[in-house]
């Protein structure tokens, strides 16, 4: 996955990938920033990030990772 992020984001990949200690090629991904970079590259000028960690707020949100896949699903609609 990290290789694909590097391929897609080029020099910007360093902003979103943080190597996992003793993880080999594995890395943590800052998905919020990665999405912002891609949206801005596509011409979106106004990007807002909720900055809410679903795993820390499972009373309000679903967290696939924390709940090991036994949870609900989100839906989203985007329109101009």
User: Which residues of the shown chain bind Zn ion in the complex (CB under 5 A)?
Assistant: 53, 55-56
Could you tell me the smallest distance in angstroms from the CB atom of residue 26 to Zn ion? 19
Distance CA 78, CA 51 (A): 19
Closest CA to 54 of 71, 39, 40, 37: 71
Q: Which is nearer to Zn ion, 20 or 56 (CB)?
A: 56
If one counts every other C-beta atom within 10 angstroms of the C-beta of residue 17, the result is: 19
Point out the residue whose Cβ comes nearest to Zn ion: 53
Could you tell me the smallest distance in angstroms from the CB atom of residue 49 to Zn ion? 14
Q: Which residues are bridge partners to 17 per DSSP?
A: 29
Could you tell me the smallest distance in angstroms from the CB atom of residue 19 to Zn ion? 20
């Amino acid at each position: 996955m990290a290789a694909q992020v590097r391929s897609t984001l080029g020099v910007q990949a360093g902003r979103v990938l943080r190597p996992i200690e003793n993880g080999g090629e594995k890395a943590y991904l800052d998905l919020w920033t990665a999405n912002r970079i891609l949206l801005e590259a596509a011409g979106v000028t106004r990007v807002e990030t909720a900055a809410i960690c679903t795993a820390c707020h499972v009373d309000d949100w679903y967290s696939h990772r924390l709940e090991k896949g036994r949870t609900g699903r989100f839906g989203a609609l985007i329109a101009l």
